């Protein structure tokens, strides 16, 4: 395989040796429309070091890419920045093939690797610990809960290169290894989707991780995450009061914005319909939002995936939900998406509820309870229609849109 699956050099003596998962479409509930990559990196220092591995089914691809550069048994150290199976699922097999002198992880990582894979050979490194590689050196920095308690990043001083594990990643399969080779629209979409679906509930930890990286006071010429393309070639600026050149990566600025959960004038209407009554109400809400100056996005759950809804809500100011009542319940699609969104925990939303029913109104009561659990600030009581919405019902939906717009439009 090594004559087919080759490495990509990303810096002097640093190679990408990961795997490309073209067909994957589900990542624990997140629809990965464009596939993914599991990135691993080989540092050809005096102590040859492998940073992370890949999902278990891709171990041969990883070993082949390593073998295209160096015999795998020349690897001295393996560093596991994150124990989740998409990065450490093949670690046991790689250790068996390589027989490294040492395997390093964070303290929580060493514990997780034992609990997940029964690996007892992992040495725990302290937060901030340096690992000398002979002619190069790495520093490890814990980034707990970005994405799991074990998560850490490693910084290669000699190349100003941060191995950032899940942070700054995206699910995007491709042969383009660098972000500047990918269409900006695709980068923006997939980076936001990744943050919304993986890191949003951990935004407080993300903010701490960004502060920690900033406090390390090191230049970041290259950011190499564990998924998707590698960030390089960003514009530079002179850092005030420091008198030295600093990198300014757009992805870092985006993370700072997302971690603050900055809201915009966008309002998302998430709904489903049985006989088109709730659909008609949703469209009346949308007209009211637009008339009030908000940017309305209607997402019928018949054609929307929960992970796309989460992405739209990442920077939205408004969330309005609607459902018919079926068998005394909200539609299953609404129950699914609201359960998912409650887990992601977006903050600072303004919203409302609407729905139609024949002889009972359970759906809107359940929607309201779900929105209150999510701490969405409701602008008024639910709008209910019986069977077919009347002109008054549609007027109330229009007003609901206007009222939400009044709170978020600029």
Residues that bind ligand FEO (CB under 6 A): 82, 84, 86-87, 147-148, 166, 226-227
Three-class secondary structure of residue 267 per DSSP: strand
State the minimum distance, in angstroms, from the CB of residue 147 to ligand FEO.
4
User: CB within 8 A of 390, min separation 6: which ones?
Assistant: none
Greatest Cα pair distance, the chain, in angstroms, is 77
Distance in angstroms (rounded) separating the CA atoms of residues 344 and 28: 13
Is 226 annotated in the active site? no
- Among 61, 166, 234, 279, which one carries the catalytic annotation? 166
State the minimum distance, in angstroms, from the CB of residue 271 to ligand FEO.
31
State the minimum distance, in angstroms, from the CB of residue 60 to ligand FEO.
20
State the minimum distance, in angstroms, from the CB of residue 82 to ligand FEO.
6
Three-class secondary structure of residue 74 per DSSP: helix
Three-class secondary structure of residue 310 per DSSP: helix
Is 194 annotated in the active site? yes
- Among 21, 77, 87, 147, which one carries the catalytic annotation? 147
Nearer to ligand FEO, 108 or 330 (CB): 108
3-state helix, strand, coil in the chain (%, to 5): 35, 25, 40
User: CB within 8 A of 211, min separation 6: which ones?
Assistant: none
Is 249 annotated in the active site? no
State the minimum distance, in angstroms, from the CB of residue 337 to ligand FEO.
22
CB atoms inside a 10 Å sphere around CB 195: 26
Nearer to ligand FEO, 166 or 265 (CB): 166
Report which secondary-structure segment, H or E, holds 191: helix 184-194
Of the chain, the end-to-end C-alpha distance in Å amounts to 57
Nearer to ligand FEO, 229 or 292 (CB): 229
State the minimum distance, in angstroms, from the CB of residue 177 to ligand FEO.
17
- Among 12, 28, 96, 175, which one carries the catalytic annotation? 28
- Among 41, 117, 194, 398, which one carries the catalytic annotation? 194
Distance in angstroms (rounded) separating the CA atoms of residues 239 and 246: 6
- Among 15, 82, 87, 171, which one carries the catalytic annotation? 82
State the minimum distance, in angstroms, from the CB of residue 338 to ligand FEO.
24
Would you give the distance in Å from CA 138 to the centre of its chain?
Answer: 26
Is 166 annotated in the active site? yes
Nearer to ligand FEO, 84 or 265 (CB): 84
Three-class secondary structure of residue 80 per DSSP: strand
Nearer to ligand FEO, 97 or 199 (CB): 199
- CA 86, 92, 94, 99 dihedral sign is positive
- Give the pairing of strands 49-51 and 77-80: parallel
State the minimum distance, in angstroms, from the CB of residue 247 to ligand FEO.
24
Distance in angstroms (rounded) separating the CA atoms of residues 128 and 130: 7
Is 82 annotated in the active site? yes
Nearer to ligand FEO, 148 or 178 (CB): 148
CB atoms inside a 10 Å sphere around CB 16: 21
Q: Pseudo-torsion of CA 175, 179, 181, 186, nearest 10°?
A: 90
CB atoms inside a 10 Å sphere around CB 294: 26
Nearer to ligand FEO, 18 or 352 (CB): 18
- Among 15, 171, 227, 305, which one carries the catalytic annotation? 227
Nearer to ligand FEO, 86 or 272 (CB): 86
> What's the Rg (C-alpha) of the chain?
24
| Burial label, 71 (beta-carbon count in 10 A; 0-12, 13-18, 19+) | exposed
Active site residues: 28, 82, 84, 86, 147, 166, 194, 227
């Amino acid at each position: 395989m090594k004559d087919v699956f080759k490495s990509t050099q990303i810096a002097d003596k640093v190679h990408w040796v990961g795997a490309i998962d073209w067909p994957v479409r589900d990542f624990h509930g997140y629809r990965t429309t464009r596939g993914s990559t599991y990135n691993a990196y080989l540092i050809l220092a005096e102590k040859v070091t492998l940073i992370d591995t890949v999902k278990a089914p891709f171990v041969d691809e990883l070993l082949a890419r390593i073998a295209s550069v160096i015999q795998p048994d020349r690897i001295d150290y393996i560093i596991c920045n994150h124990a989740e199976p998409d990065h450490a699922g093949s670690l046991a097999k790689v250790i068996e093939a390589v027989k490294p002198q040492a395997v390093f992880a964070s303290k929580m990582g060493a514990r997780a690797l034992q609990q997940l894979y029964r690996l007892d050979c992992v040495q725990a490194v302290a937060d901030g610990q340096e690992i000398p590689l002979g002619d190069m050196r790495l520093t490890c920095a814990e980034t707990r809960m970005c994405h799991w308690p074990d998560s850490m990043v490693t910084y290669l001083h000699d190349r100003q290169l941060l191995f950032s594990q899940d942070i700054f990643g995206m699910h995007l399969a491709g042969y383009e290894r660098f972000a500047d080779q990918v269409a900006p629209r695709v980068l923006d979409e997939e980076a936001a989707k990744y943050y919304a679906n993986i890191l949003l509930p951990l935004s407080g930890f993300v903010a701490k991780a960004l502060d920690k990286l900033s406090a390390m006071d090191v230049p970041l010429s290259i950011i190499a995450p564990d998924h998707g393309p590698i960030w390089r070639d960003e514009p530079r600026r002179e850092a005030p009061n420091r008198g030295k050149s600093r990198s300014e990566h757009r992805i870092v600025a985006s993370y700072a914005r997302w971690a603050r959960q900055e809201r915009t004038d966008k309002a998302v209407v998430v709904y489903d319909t049985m006989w088109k009554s709730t659909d008609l109400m949703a469209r009346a809400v949308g007209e009211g939002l637009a008339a009030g100056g908000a940017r309305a996005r209607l997402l019928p759950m018949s054609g929307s995936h929960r992970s796309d809804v989460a992405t739209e809500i990442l920077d939205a100011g408004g969330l309005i939900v609607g459902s018919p009542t079926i068998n005394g319940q909200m539609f299953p699609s609404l129950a699914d998406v609201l359960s998912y969104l409650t887990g992601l925990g977006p903050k600072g939303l303004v919203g409302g509820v609407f729905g139609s029913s024949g002889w009972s109104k359970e759906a809107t009561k359940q929607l309201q309870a779900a929105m209150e659990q999510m701490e969405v600030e409701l602008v008024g009581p639910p709008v209910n229609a019986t069977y077919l919405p009347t002109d008054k019902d549609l007027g109330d939906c229009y007003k609901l849109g206007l009222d939400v717009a009044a709170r978020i439009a600029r």
